[in-house]
Structure 1
Amino acid sequence: MHHIISRTTERHLKMFICFTLFIVGIHTAQAQTTYCNPMDIDYKYNFEQLNDKISYRSGADPVIINHKVGGNSEYFMFVTISGGYWHSKDLIHWKYLTANRWPFEDMCAPAAVSVRDTLFLFQSTFESRPILYSVAPEKGIWEFYNRWTPRLPKDIGPWDPALFHDPDTDKWYMYWGSSNVYPIFGAELDYSKRLAFKGQYQAMFWLNQYEHGWERFGPNHSDPFKPFTEGAWMTKHKGKYYLQYGAPGTEYNVYANGTYVGNAPLGPFTYAPYNPVSYKPGGFATGAGHGNTFQDNFGNYWNTGTTWIGLNWAMERRIVMYPAGFDKDGQMFSNTRFGDFPHKMTTNTWQGKGDGLFTGWMLLSYKKPAIASSTLDTTAASRITDENPRTFWAAKQNKPGETLTIDLETEQEIKAVQINYTDYKTDIFDNKPEKVYTQFKILTSKDGKKWDLASDLSQEPKRDRPCAYIELANPVRARYVRYEHIYVASPILAISEFRVFGNGFGKVPQTPKTFAAIRQKDSRNADLKWEKVSGATGYNVLWGIAPDKLYQTYQFWNDEPNTFELRALNVGVPYYFAIEAFNENGVSEKSSVIGVK
């Protein structure tokens, strides 16, 4: 009897231990409190270039909707050509869903809006297409709300549409436009006729690159080619209507969101002199255009956008999300300062412009030495620390055990890593989850000899994470950080960036002593110059239309020139500038603000 009791007790004890480990595993998976751009979702292989035999993951033109599910407010994200959509309860963990009526052909730049208990969805089109609706989007159940949308004249659309319901008047509207010829359009919709157009559509506004420097085409607004406007979105705030748009082109670092402001849904609208409202031309994840603005469960605003990869195809992209809002004067802004470094996810209403969400975890890996277990052709390991998503390392073979090791050169406190995979000579044109997933381990070492396991993705459910962001359960003091490969579906293992975040134990850099901004005769441009600081990794140039409204950021690295022609200004608008330096240990104080007319 004693032996039986012992065996029974042992069995119960093992069950208890397994259950405890299971709960701990769940707790660990759910303990993540930060996020990092580009967003860590399972971007889908894009069939758009199937006929050209080009295979790559991509995601663009995001729309995130806060929608009631039962008694809770949850989030649904719709992305161009993804075969489905994503669902989240916390804006960190996203689950991919497919739908019973996912259309006809896949959706480009979809429009979505939540009204009462119903989520509405509409695709970009130049033909007649239906609007779908769902009262259970978390289950993937959709129905036809109408069977047609009247065809508009050739090239008018509605492409890149946005649906807007005015809660104060119970009226419906649609905005759209994607062209370097046509404007952003708007029209009222007739709810009594299943959201058919009510009256004529109207031109809302055109781009004006001759007065708005940031609307100029090309890298750093340097191309005279006529720019594109697209990605309409409407936000109502304190009785004002903010009609947003993307410009000047998705394939450039300066892709941004701007806004016009009016007192009525169809205008007239006035150009906001502080444009662009979301702009991130420097750093790793460049570009912030064509997204939407939404509020989270605490009332905080966010602005989503599209960041450019452009390695396999010009339209290869990822998704970004930034804190946003409206200041006391009604000025709309989006905070992209350190926008591709780790940020805290909100758990309450934040004050100011969202600077408090920045974790203060700095980039530890920039231009640090890296070695690989093997290298294919000339794809050197040094490319994984250059903060360029269009350069990459590839292994000779895609097999478990291949490694990448970064030497941080001194012992640092490591808090998070991000692995960005590259689709190099891939042959994947489906997204079968049993085949398309990523797994790896992260190890750390103080001496390069004894290694400790920091994270193991083989211990979590299989999923594809081409921009995998790993927040360590506990900070780790180490000098070396290693990626150990387990699995990726592509025939070639290729990684563009292995990013390590945390904090060093040295001194924060000093504020640059000299900083100048001189407006050119063409007042869309200003010449910037600063004195480099010893020990700095980089600099943020901050500017805006008032000393307390420095909402724009351009990030530069210390090994780049300390002069720059900024070509993003608006004619007739005075500006104010400041600069700060940063390194692995933190951020300097901002310089004195200087005014430029």
Structure 2
Amino acid sequence: MVIRTFFTLLISLLGALLPGYAQVPPRTYCNPMDIDYKYNFEQINERISYRSGADPVIVNHKGEYYLFVTISGGYWHSKDLVNWRYIVANRWPFEDMCAPAALSVNDTLFLFQSTFEQRPILYSVEPEKGTFEFYNRWMPRLPKDIGPWDPAIFHDPDTDRWFMYWGSSNVYPIFGAELDHSKRLAYKSQYQAMFWLDPYQHGWERFGPNHSDPIKPFTEGAWMTKHHGKYYLQYGAPGTEYNVYANGTYVGKDPLGPFEYAPYNPISYKPGGFVQGAGHGNTFQDNYGNYWNTGTPWIAVNWNFERRIAMFPAGFDQDDQMYANTRFGDLPHYLPTQQWQHRDELFTGWMLLSYRKPVRASSVRDTLPVGTLGPAHLTDENPRTFWVAQQNKPGETLILDLEKEHEVRAVQINYTDYKSNIYDNDPAKVYTEFKLYTSLDGKRWELAADLAQLPRRDRPCAYLEVPPQPNGQPRRARYVKYEHGYVASPNLAISDFRVFGKGMGKVPATPRKLEVVRQPDERNADLRWEKVPGAVGYNIRWGIGPDKLYQTYQIWDDQPGALELRALNVGVPYYFAIEAFNENGVSPLSSVVGKR
């Protein structure tokens, strides 16, 4: 609290001394992560151009952070988990890396790419400079189709043993093998199966939107975390191209098992809201000892595998149950300044103010049917719908009417690569510039942000805190205006204009009459509740104990007050509750309902 007060005073001082927008150190972050996602060339032969990020691994190396992402031509470096600097390594070799493995041990960072061929492990003692060398020349080739694809390298500090885990298939399992450090991490043992998916027992492992497709699901993205002497072998399922992409874990007493399925799976799950999908990431600790779990949200505009990156607070409870907190996981959260004591501690309480609010655009691309590319899509919280301006030129504007006066704390602009033709990542050409203004009456405007005054970079998911008033109080506004400067794409297209803050009214009442019926197929449950006046949406929360409601499914109030939840495990009792939220805050949680 003392540190947050200091930042508030600093912002107030700078706002009083400097005219217009004063750039100060950010206190918060918001998913999707605000990095310069690189244009991806997987589909270049189909003449598709889009920015994408997937399969993230964040490594804490000597107190600083390194982010590795699929097919990005390099990696990112950060000292605070919010400001990320892109680096191209001296040995970004062979072909670009897909789902790379990264590991920090002592003063060395190890890096290994997904492959079905022979490939080397790289290492660096100066990754901040982009300097990598060969640790070994070739990992031996495994049998056809075995891998190692989506690899993870694990070093057990208590035994000084090394291991590799991998797998990306709807046929093969997650594999594991011990590595021989004395032989430069060659395979020491025969690879062996760790586990297979079992969608007939684990509802969340079923494929398709809301687990509704009979196609055999995929497992991928292995990762190992050791906690209190137990080994948590994590994996992603059931498929990256759906809202239900999630991370789960098996737990064992030895790095190569045997492993037992965790009945509380999935550990990271975000099927509702703007950011949808949380699978195929990794687990790491920050400099304060807090755990984080990363994942791959789904975008799918130009290609079904167009994605972004998210990170969620995570941890282990008093019973060593692993979890990731995705509740309000696409709203602003504080950057940690110490080890948190409660899993919701980092949530700012800055609510979404913009949902379904009217937007006036300076122009709209002519299209049929009418409204396909219109400004109403800017506030629907759907990254697969978007507005397109008549031209991509400076001065195009959007004016968002929040309909009431609110405290405006932050804004996120999410761009879309509509009919894009960008096939390189030249920073002299690929960057983002715009201005944000706020107003009480829609006539007199105050500058809130100007990207032209900040270091130039591409920001497809630009997130900016709004500085407070000169007296230190939060800025109040009814209107927020976007004024376009520059994007490299031939079209100016934005999927969502998201505004966060606090309303002046009452929080909604607690929803009543939550009913839960477990279907004969125990993987499914039908939930109903009584809607409450003034709610914008609801969080269904559930888990394997009344004090373990770690899972969240977000539902908007303009959707039916019912949900078929298809993510449950057979033979596991569950507990459910519900809360409502609006622009002003969150209701108290309802009574907990238990169902076997």
Q: CA deviation at 1:30?
A: 4.7
The match for 2:387 is 393
Q: Secondary structure at the match of 2:512?
A: coil
C-alpha separation in 1, matches of 2:360 and 2:150: 44
Counterpart among 320, 324, 338 of residue 348 in structure 1? 338
Task: Give the residue type in structure 1 aligned to 2:106.
Answer: R
Q: CA deviation at 1:216?
A: 0.2
Task: Give the residue type in structure 2 aligned to 1:38.
Answer: P
C-alpha separation in 1, matches of 2:301 and 2:528: 31
Q: Does 1:32 align with 2:61?
A: no
The match for 1:14 is none
Q: Does 1:596 align with 2:595?
A: yes
The match for 2:552 is 553
Counterpart among 426, 438, 441 of residue 444 in structure 1? 438
Q: Does 1:186 align with 2:185?
A: no
Counterpart among 226, 230, 244 of residue 236 in structure 1? 226
Where do residues 389-468 of structure 1 align in structure 2 (5 Å cutoff)?
389-468=383-462
C-alpha separation in 2, matches of 1:525 and 1:103: 47
Per the normalisation by structure 1, the TM-score is 0.95
The match for 1:58 is 52
Q: Does 1:100 align with 2:90?
A: yes
Bigger radius of gyration? 1
The match for 2:491 is 492
Task: Give the residue type in structure 2 aligned to 1:447.
Answer: D
The match for 2:357 is 368
Q: Does 1:509 align with 2:498?
A: no
Q: Does 1:533 align with 2:522?
A: no
C-alpha separation in 2, matches of 1:126 and 1:107: 12
Where do residues 298-337 of structure 1 align in structure 2 (5 Å cutoff)?
298-337=288-327
C-alpha separation in 2, matches of 1:29 and 1:400: 22
C-alpha separation in 2, matches of 1:389 and 1:383: 9
Contact in 1 for aligned 2:467/2:475 (Cα 8 Å): no
Task: Give the residue type in structure 2 aligned to 1:319.
Answer: I
Distance 1:88 1:28, change over 3 A: farther
Q: Secondary structure at the match of 2:42?
A: helix
Q: Secondary structure at the match of 2:210?
A: helix
Task: Give the residue type in structure 1 aligned to 2:363.
Answer: S
C-alpha separation in 2, matches of 1:212 and 1:421: 36
C-alpha separation in 1, matches of 2:467 and 2:251: 44
- Unpaired runs of 5+ residues, structure 1, are 1-19
Deviations 1:459-498 (A, max 9, x none): 0111000000001121321111111000000010000000
| Percent of matched pairs sharing the same residue | 75
Q: Secondary structure at the match of 1:48?
A: coil
Q: Does 1:287 align with 2:277?
A: yes
Q: CA deviation at 1:82?
A: 0.3
Q: Secondary structure at the match of 2:72?
A: coil
Q: CA deviation at 1:28?
A: 5.3
Deviations 1:285-335 (A, max 9, x none): 000000000000000000000000011001100000000000010100000
The match for 1:358 is 347
The match for 1:297 is 287
Q: Secondary structure at the match of 1:318?
A: coil
Q: CA deviation at 1:445?
A: 1.0
Q: Secondary structure at the match of 1:224?
A: coil
The match for 1:15 is none
Q: CA deviation at 1:24?
A: 7.7
Where do residues 25-174 of structure 1 align in structure 2 (5 Å cutoff)?
29-68=23-62, 73-174=63-164
The match for 1:9 is none
Per the normalisation by structure 2, the TM-score is 0.95
C-alpha separation in 2, matches of 1:223 and 1:330: 33
Contact in 1 for aligned 2:283/2:294 (Cα 8 Å): yes
C-alpha separation in 2, matches of 1:573 and 1:351: 28
The match for 1:580 is 579
C-alpha separation in 1, matches of 2:410 and 2:176: 44
Q: Secondary structure at the match of 1:47?
A: coil
Structure 1 outlier segments of 4+, above 2 Å: 27-30
Q: Secondary structure at the match of 2:452?
A: helix
The match for 1:203 is 193
